[in-house]
């Protein structure tokens, strides 16, 4: 508890800093001896004056090993006693060399951070950062691309978006995409091709296409996109679903206890790509009166568990028919299964059972108490020896 209070008090003292510019994300295509100056303003959100320090650091997770931060010059490096409503401006000058040997996208962070006082203890400081990307081209042709698509309903075309970028030094003279739709048995359903384009060095292009779904059965399919460029090719694939307005009953409660009120669950799944509203189930056991669950909205292809409470106080043990009807969008689906009514579990015994989670919690509490007692005794012993 003391530790938590300390953490909360430390966080309450942290003060915010903002940063303003035309854009906090900058992308630079490398050219020899590139030089440009960018300007940023610091926005303090503190009632007290604060010191703010600026910095630049290389992102070690960008897939490159070179540190390009030495080509960044920040002026000034520190602001002293910045007050609320002040927005001091600092500059970031990027001076790239004639050559950067390592190709790829180099990511760097330029930030402003509250300068913590030089005192002991634990402290929290606020910081904000802008991002720089420096794209160094590869030798020859170097194509990168991504594919985006999504599941749809019957009759709605499947959108396919190809995002292409030439990170090489040489132009790609001819490039086009070939998109194939396959069913679950890998049988070709449809094939389309994009127009042919030319992609120059350090340029990118977005190509959009659609695959028709008219006449397709609902189910899972695979979209395979192959990009052909100057005698070479790369491929990607993604699974999609073609949906129909249909809900399925996946699972239901299989056992309940006589002599008590039981919770009964019905798991249902949507095969529709859009939201299905006001879905509910009606549950009947044998000849007894049915009970109704609360209604739920199902998102596209979502699975949910509907819950109802059934009074089995006067039901004898045995096996009964469980009739479940799910209502949605003026439609209904039903399923009949068997459910067992078991004797011998009373309300008191059920409430008396301790779950695994509760047992684990009790064990942890006991362990913490024992550790504290042992540490307390050790400290007392050391104190007595010192005295």
Write down the pLDDT at residue 149.
96
User: Is residue 29 helix, strand or coil?
Assistant: strand
CB 251 within 8 A of CB 337: no
Looking at residue 16, its pLDDT comes to: 75
* pLDDT value of position 167: 92
Residue 371 phi, psi dihedral angles, 5° rounding: -60, -45
**Predicted local distance difference test score (pLDDT) of residue 124:** 45
338 contacts 319 by C-beta, under 8 angstroms: yes
d(CA 78, CA 70): 18
Strand partners, 148: 161
Read off the DSSP letter of residue 138.
B
Helix (H) or strand (E) holding 10: helix 2-12
Convert 128-150 to b/e letters by CB count within 10 Å (16 or more is b).
bbbebebebbbeebbbebebebe
Q: Any residues with CB less than 8 A from the CB of 136 and at least 6 apart, and which? A: 30, 100, 102, 103, 104, 105, 106
Among 81, 83, 72, 179, CA closest to 131: 72
The answer to whether the CB of 247 falls within 8 A of the CB of 203 is no
For the entire predicted model, the pTM comes to: 0.67
User: Could you give the angle at the alpha carbon of 344 between the alpha carbons of 341 and 349, nearest 5°?
Assistant: 120
Phi, psi of 70 (to 5 degrees): -70, -10
Q: What is the pLDDT along the chain (387 residues), one digit of tens a residue?
A: 565 444 444 444 445 788 888 889 999 999 999 999 999 999 888 778 889 999 999 998 999 999 999 999 999 999 999 888 889 999 999 999 999 999 999 999 999 998 865 544 444 456 789 999 999 999 999 999 999 999 999 999 999 999 999 999 999 999 999 999 999 999 999 999 999 999 999 899 999 999 999 889 999 999 999 999 999 999 999 999 999 999 999 999 999 999 999 999 999 999 999 999 999 999 999 999 999 999 999 999 999 999 999 999 989 999 999 999 999 999 999 999 999 999 864 444 334 445 677 788 888 899 899 998 888 888 877 767 766
In this predicted structure, what is the pLDDT of residue 44? 87
Residue 69 phi/psi, 5° resolution?
A: -65, -25
Strands (E), 150-231: 152-153, 158-166, 172-182, 188-193, 197-199, 204-211, 219-229
Burial 71-101 (b: 16+ CB within 10 A, else e): bbebeeeebeebeeeeebebebebebeeebe
Q: Give the separation between CA 242 and CA 214, rounded to whole angstroms.
A: 10
pLDDT value of position 251? 94
Q: Tell me if 142 sits within 8 A of 31, measured CB to CB.
A: no
212-217 own/partner pairs: CB under 8 Å, 24+ apart: 212/157, 213/152, 213/154, 213/155, 213/156, 213/157, 213/158, 213/242, 214/155, 216/154, 216/189, 216/242, 217/242
Q: Which residues, other chains included, contact 281 with Cβ-Cβ below 8 Å and sequence gap of 6+?
A: 266, 268, 292, 293, 306, 308, 324, 325, 326, 327
Q: What does the alpha-carbon distance between residue 225 and residue 192 come to, in Å, rounded to a whole number?
A: 10
């Amino acid at each position: 508890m003391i530790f938590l209070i300390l953490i909360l008090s430390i966080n309450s003292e942290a003060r915010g800093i903002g940063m303003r510019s035309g854009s906090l994300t900058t992308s630079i295509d490398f050219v020899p001896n590139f030089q440009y100056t960018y300007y940023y303003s610091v926005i303090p959100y503190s009632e007290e004056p604060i010191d703010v320090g600026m910095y630049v650091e290389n992102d070690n997770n960008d897939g490159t090993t070179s540190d390009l931060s030495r080509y960044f010059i920040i002026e000034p490096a520190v602001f002293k006693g910045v007050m609320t409503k002040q927005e001091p401006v600092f500059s970031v000058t990027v001076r790239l060399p004639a050559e950067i040997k390592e190709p790829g996208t180099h990511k760097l962070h330029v930030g402003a951070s509250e300068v913590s006082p030089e005192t002991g203890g634990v402290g929290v400081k606020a910081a904000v950062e802008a991002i720089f990307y420096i794209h160094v081209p590869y030798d020859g042709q170097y194509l990168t691309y991504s594919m985006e698509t999504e599941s749809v309903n019957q009759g709605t075309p499947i959108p396919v978006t190809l995002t292409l970028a030439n990170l090489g030094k040489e132009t790609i003279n001819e490039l086009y995409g070939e998109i194939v739709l396959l069913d679950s048995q890998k049988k070709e359903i449809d094939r389309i091709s994009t127009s042919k384009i030319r992609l120059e060095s350090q340029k990118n292009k977005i190509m959009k296409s659609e695959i028709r779904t008219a006449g397709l059965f609902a189910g899972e399919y695979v979209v395979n996109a192959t990009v052909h460029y100057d005698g070479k090719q790369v491929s990607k694939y993604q699974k999609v679903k073609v949906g129909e307005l249909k809900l399925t009953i996946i699972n239901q409660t299989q056992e309940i206890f006589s002599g008590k009120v039981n919770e009964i669950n019905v798991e249902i799944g949507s095969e529709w790509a859009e939201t299905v509203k006001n879905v509910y189930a009606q549950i009947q056991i044998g000849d007894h009166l049915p009970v109704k669950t609360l209604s739920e909205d199902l998102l596209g292809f979502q699975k949910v568990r509907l819950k109802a409470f059934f009074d089995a106080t006067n039901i004898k043990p045995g096996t009964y028919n469980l009739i479940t009807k799910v209502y949605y969008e003026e439609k209904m689906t039903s399923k009949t299964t068997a459910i067992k009514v078991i004797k011998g579990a009373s309300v008191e015994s059920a409430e008396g059972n301790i779950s695994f989670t509760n047992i684990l919690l009790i064990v942890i509490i006991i362990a913490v108490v024992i550790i504290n007692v042992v540490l307390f005794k050790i400290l007392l012993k050391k104190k007595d020896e010192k005295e």
